[in-house]
Amino acid sequence: MYAQMVETGLKKVQTRDDMSAEEQAFQARIDAGVKIEPKDWMPEAYRKTLVRQISQHAHSEIVGQLPEGNWVTRAPTLKRKSILLAKIQDEAGHGLYLYSAAETLGVSRDELLDALHAGKAKYSSIFNYPTLTWADIGAIGWLVDGSAIINQIPLCRCSYGPYARAMIRVCKEESFHARQGYDIMMKLAQGSPEQKAMAQDALNRWWWPSLMMFGPSDAESVNSAQSTQWRIKLFSNDELRQRMVDQTVPQAEFLGLTVPDPDLKWNEERGSYDFGEIDWDEFHNVLKGNGPCNKERLRTRVKAWEDGAWFRDALVAYADKQADKQAAA
């Protein structure tokens, strides 16, 4: 998802016997549905896993602005441009809510940003694909933000208070993103044959990467099982992916577009769609840094950070000067 394959650093799921008295009390609170707050005692592995998960999620929001920024100056109308700007501004806001939540766990904002800029921190694989046409902006809102909503709604109930509260804010705003994307797709699908072909092309390119966002099957994963026990993961990757396919296929049908999967078929017995094999080699390759845009995304982020350094420094210099003046008075 926005946070994919998060490591817990543990080799096996902790049983009661593995836990200290403090850990048992902590797990009991989680099992009782009590939220964990920043000043509460927590196991070090829980804290570290959450830092990884929340910061990865934050980085994804920030890097996620880049593929869309590519189309701000080329949006087809002033209205579409204003809407896209508002969406991108939301993504920045989502990143900030999440960085704040991560900071309550005792890491600093600058540490997190340094890790991103040094290429040490992960962000979602999905943002390493290019936005070649305007229809890609529609497909991203519809499919990528749509998938994000499916992942994030359960996280509103996760065990860590600041993360859950950030997710509630994010989810409220995310519906706008998904709808504006579908609105773009509708307009194109109802337009000229060329416009409809453009919409179909975007669906063809974004469908599989969107399914990959949920991450490989984690039925056997110790990390996922442990995260589930801690209630910072509420559904398996496969369950969430199935939910995405089931809700999106009818939306594609309404548009008159074809989902690019010859194996896609309604399964009456399961009450769900069966779908084809995902190319996990591609996913792992993108995670390793070899996706179409990994290098460009990181370069753009670093450049924005470095180009803004003089301005941040000036703000600090001004604040220091004012503080000195006040101290002297």
Partner 1 sequence: MSKEWPLWEVFIRSQHGLAHKHVGSLHAPDAEMAINNARDVYTRRNEGVSIWVVKAADIVASSPSDKDALFEPSNSKVYRHPTFFPMPEEVKNL
- Catalog residues that contact partner 1 under the rule CB under 8 A: 37, 39-41, 86, 89-90, 93, 96-97, 100, 103, 108-110, 165-166, 169, 173, 309, 312-313, 315-316, 318-319, 322-323
Cα atoms in the 13 Å half-sphere on the side-chain side of 123:
28
Q: What span, in angstroms and rounded, lies between the C-alpha atoms of 104 and 199?
A: 42
With b meaning 16 or more CB within 10 Å and e meaning fewer, what string describes 89-107? Answer: ebbeebbebbbebbbbbeb
Helix (H) or strand (E) holding 272: strand 272-274
Which residue, 35 or 284, is less far from partner 1 as judged by CB?
35
Which residue, 197 or 323, is less far from partner 1 as judged by CB?
323
For residue 89, which amino acid is it? Q
Output the smallest distance, CB 24 to partner 1, in A. Answer: 17
Which residue, 219 or 319, is less far from partner 1 as judged by CB?
319
Which residue, 47 or 169, is less far from partner 1 as judged by CB?
169
Output the smallest distance, CB 121 to partner 1, in A. Answer: 17
Output the smallest distance, CB 109 to partner 1, in A. Answer: 6
Q: What span, in angstroms and rounded, lies between the C-alpha atoms of 42 and 23?
A: 7
Q: What span, in angstroms and rounded, lies between the C-alpha atoms of 227 and 306?
A: 36
Which residue, 38 or 276, is less far from partner 1 as judged by CB?
38
Residue 325 in tokens: 């003046």
Output the smallest distance, CB 239 to partner 1, in A. Answer: 30
Output the smallest distance, CB 314 to partner 1, in A. Answer: 9
The position carrying tokens 């999620």 is 57
Please answer whether residues 49 and 9 qualify as being in contact, where contact means their C-beta atoms are separated by less than 8 angstroms: yes
Output the smallest distance, CB 68 to partner 1, in A. Answer: 16
Which residue, 97 or 207, is less far from partner 1 as judged by CB?
97
Pairing between strand 272-274 and 265-267? antiparallel
With b meaning 16 or more CB within 10 Å and e meaning fewer, what string describes 114-126? Answer: ebbbeeebbbbbb
Output the smallest distance, CB 295 to partner 1, in A. Answer: 24
Contacts for 116 with CB less than 8 Å, ≥ 6 apart: 59, 62, 63, 123, 301
Which residue, 266 or 318, is less far from partner 1 as judged by CB?
318
